[in-house]
Structure 1
Amino acid sequence: MSEVLLDGAALTAEQVRSVARHGARVIVHEDGLIRASAAHESIRALSAARPVYGRTTGVGANRLVAVEYESSAGPVVLGPEGSVVPGDAAPEPIVRHEPHGLRLLRSHAGGAGPLLDPVSVRAMLTVRANQLAAGGSGVAPHLLTALAEALNRGAIPPVHAFGGIGTGDLPALAVTALCLLGEVPWRGGAMEAVPFDPADALSFISSNAGSIGEAALACADLSELLRASTVITALAFLACDGNSEAYEAVVHLARPHPGQQTVAARLRDLLAGQPVKAARIQDPYSYRAVPQVHGPALDAVVALERTMSIELNAAAENPLVDSVGRRVLHNANFHTAYLGLSLDAMRNALYQTAALSVARLSLLLEPAFTGLAPFLAAGPPGSSGLMILEYVAHSALGALRLHATPTSLATAVVSRGVEEHAPFSSQAARNSLDAVGSYRIVLAAELVAAVRALRMRGTPPVDGPLAEAFAYAAERLPDRLDDRPLDQDVEDAAGLLPALAGFEG
């Protein structure tokens, strides 16, 4: 089993997926523990001397309400806006309640809706542990190792789907804290309760780790699917006797968008040495415009990967502990506009390339392009062949159209008006994961049709990575041509997509 090192500096979306979906073990780097320890010591000292949001004050609209803060010297009495009141000037003692931080965790663990997929929750835990290793939160360093232990034991908190709006996944992380405390049972595994200083409550939950984790899963998956789609396009191209003139380098040097050039180059490499017949002076858009439509999706995922590399390793804490300068800085780094906008752009570009895939599927079912029977049927007259796959693909495309709706067009005003903007990047991340599922169905349907058409024509690719990709798929997809249920074919094809991505080069 592979291992992923959490150091607060170099975590990638692919590594998050490796931990969350494939069970890779996590190891906390010593440097991360050192940074977390330094921040923890700094915040304890600073909180005893000055107001610190969430530690000596309430949160949200309660930010001006002083709360009792326990320092190493005992309880400190706080006056207006969290100012420290000298001992000899203190008013009547404050009536003691359970610590503010504990009440904060309990009150914020209020998510709703269905429980999240364990993979998404594991992604959240991975991201939050790495964020703590970046050393800006001030929470006790043993909480970092506790999260790593939970991941390695297979224990996850019961996180509900609704609660985040892009300014902090507060319910998800609050229930995680209650699991660490032993108040809420873990799912999937067990752990002993760990010490949790109530003063660390806000610092622990003030994070978008859930949204970032789901975005990381979507980013890794979409990057992989886009690579697979180039291979599938090349197979369909051969089955329809496409004209490769549209992919020539000089064409794309004349309009040198990076993604467009990359897609064209990859198609040239895949089709090199293949018996391309060029049956038409120019093809329909679904073949001719692949670089121009697929290229923006490639550029969008590159931009998303760049955003993810920052978000995954950022100490996006409020307040931020500057342990070097011995300061605590109140800020808005928890606001995830960059993440939400990047995800929105990715899904919009993805819809365009998915629409082209559905159009290619239709051409694969058309005798004028393949020279085969309508719908690639092989039975008696009127046989349906792969007719239903066109409906399935359009159904998935319709869902993808809904997923592509920009979430950044919404906002919210909460907490008595003091928090007056929200990017809804939590919804953008969730929509992106849903888009992955829809796009996977679209590509799987095209792959089933392309492999069947090449088999029926008796013209499989010759030599090179495209021939290897075809052989890999053909060995694993049923070769029956009779009318029968095709649901398993699509499921099998979807399972082949990660491996097909490796043939793209």
Structure 2
Amino acid sequence: MSQPDVLIDGVGLTCAEVRSIAQDKATVQVDAAGLHRAAAAHMMVKELAARGQVYGRTTGVGANRLVPVTVDEPAGDTHGMRLLRSHAAGAGPTLDPVIARAMLVVRVNQLAAGGSGVGPEVLTALTEALNRGLAPTAYTFGGIGTGDLTALACTALCLLGELPWRGGQLPPLQFDPADALGFVSSNAALIGEAALACANLSDLLAAATVVGALAFLGTEGNPEAYDEFVHQARPHPGQQVVAAQLRRLLNGQRTWFARIQDPYSYRALPQVHGSAVDAAQVLDRTLSVELNSAGENPLVDVAGARVLHNANFHMAHLGLALDSLRIALYQTAALSVARTTTLLEPAITGLTPFLASGPAGSSGLMILEYVAQSALADLRQCALPAALATAVVSRGLEEHAPFSAQAARNTTQAVAAYRVILAVELVAAVRALRMRSAVLAPGPLRDAYDLAAGVLPEQTVDRPLDIDVAAAATLLATAQDTDAGPFLADFLG
């Protein structure tokens, strides 16, 4: 094939690369070293299974772990095939195709890390599915943070030709049925969804600083709260980063301000938004480990000629990072809604109520405050920690679950709600600056304003506002498609 966009090596996959493959359909190839590691582990686990017990290959699974199984069975009715068919029991909506493809990306990279014992032909088939733009038929419900068994069992049946792919077809693969547990013993769906959410949210958090700076100008804010001396006195990393970004964006803009102290939504922006930036970085670091680890059970140690039964499938670290992020995200989202409220308040802006024009009693942007509060309410529900729940399954053997899959799903929904909240703030900020006939000094903030003003309708008479919110949302960088033009996040420098 031609040079791939992304080379999978089992050690260096990033959240941005997961998104580029899963969403933007960048081409992918597994490097030779990754295929070699997979082949070596496959040969080793077959040898070890021939000499003794290997969980899931020579035994049942879960509470059936002590039950020996027959290795030499009729083709098509092996223990491995029964395992795949019985575990392909997900329910609810089918996985979003992008999330399903992200699952494939993660599983390929995990297999390339070695340790699963799954044959290299499976890696090749998965990369072929990705390069053809396919997504497996898998379902939302089934994972509880200890393995995406149902989604990956469905994926295996797609590879075998027993379930249909979405988006096209792939020749059926005949892989070793003994590889069944080795293939499904992974949290690839959870990790893939979390990686997509992390990449998308990183863009939104960067864009939010730009939107906040525009709202600051729209309300004639006081820049004193962003002074470097203030943030050196309390040097949390994210707080310092956001304050420095605001200083850079506001550099050269007018120095007159309307108040000695602004509302918290402006004055505490570095502290609150910086906390979300810090939480996103924790998630990114956690995902860097999860994306590039052989979190397999059992884990094949080729050099030591052994298999190790373990609990590296338990996603407590990732679940807690996701829960923490959503709580921090709610805090900064609430500040965004509060800034929208200030932009609609004449006592703060000196402009008309709701930034309306036309006959007395015109509504202007009144309804967008409701839209933002509605999205914030959804985000609040999503912010509830999934880790507060647990479960006991498989006859009591598996007596704990972090529900990290639910944490990832809630994070996806929270990111979507946050995008709406920021879009509303951007619409209000641009209208306020227009009504002021503001002339911004040259620099990145004026460039960002010009970009937003270029796509948001100028009419201020009462009219449907859905087109405004949709246009604003497209500027909030949730995908790095180089053909899509600039995003607001690009102006942070």
Calculate the TM-score normalised by the size of structure 1.
Answer: 0.94
Q: Deviations over 1:98-120 (max 9, x none)?
A: 20000000000000001111011
Identity of aligned residues (%): 67
Other-structure match for 1:263: 242
Q: Deviations over 1:241-291 (max 9, x none)?
A: 100000001111111111111111110000000013221010010000001
CA contact (8 A) 2:231 2:240 kept: yes
Give the superposition deviation at 1:171: 0.6
Give the superposition deviation at 1:165: 0.2
Other-structure match for 1:420: 399
Other-structure match for 1:84: none
Q: Deviations over 1:145-198 (max 9, x none)?
A: 100000111222111110000000001000100111111111111000011211
| 1:371 aligns to 2:350 (yes or no) | yes
Other-structure match for 2:216: 237
Other-structure match for 1:216: 195
Change (3 A) 1:179 1:458: same
Give the Cα separation in 2 of the matches to 1:196 and 1:180. 9
Count of matched residue pairs: 482
Give the Cα separation in 2 of the matches to 1:370 and 1:279. 9
| 1:471 aligns to 2:473 (yes or no) | no
Give the Cα separation in 2 of the matches to 1:451 and 1:60. 57
Q: Which amino acid aligns with 1:117?
A: D
CA contact (8 A) 1:242 1:276 kept: no
Question: What pairs with 1:12-161 in structure 2 (closer than 5 Å)?
Answer: 12-70=14-72, 98-161=77-140
RMSD, aligned α-carbons = 1.2
Question: What pairs with 1:54-453 in structure 2 (closer than 5 Å)?
Answer: 54-70=56-72, 98-453=77-432
- Secondary structure of the 1:22 match is coil
Give the superposition deviation at 1:321: 0.4
Q: Deviations over 1:79-99 (max 9, x none)?
A: xxxxxxxxxxxxxxxx99920
Change (3 A) 1:278 1:2: farther
Give the Cα separation in 1 of the matches to 2:22 and 2:390. 30
CA contact (8 A) 2:45 2:117 kept: yes
Give the superposition deviation at 1:460: 3.7
Give the Cα separation in 2 of the matches to 1:418 and 1:231. 51
Give the Cα separation in 2 of the matches to 1:23 and 1:299. 29
Give the Cα separation in 2 of the matches to 1:448 and 1:460. 17
Give the Cα separation in 1 of the matches to 2:133 and 2:270. 42
Change (3 A) 1:416 1:127: same
CA contact (8 A) 2:4 2:29 kept: no
Q: Which amino acid aligns with 2:56?
A: G
CA contact (8 A) 2:13 2:291 kept: yes
Query: Which ranges in structure 2 are unaligned for 5 or more consecutive residues?
Result: 478-486
Give the Cα separation in 2 of the matches to 1:276 and 1:124. 50
Runs of 4+ in structure 1 deviating by more than 6 angstroms, as ranges, are none
Give the Cα separation in 2 of the matches to 1:369 and 1:463. 26
| 1:490 aligns to 2:469 (yes or no) | yes
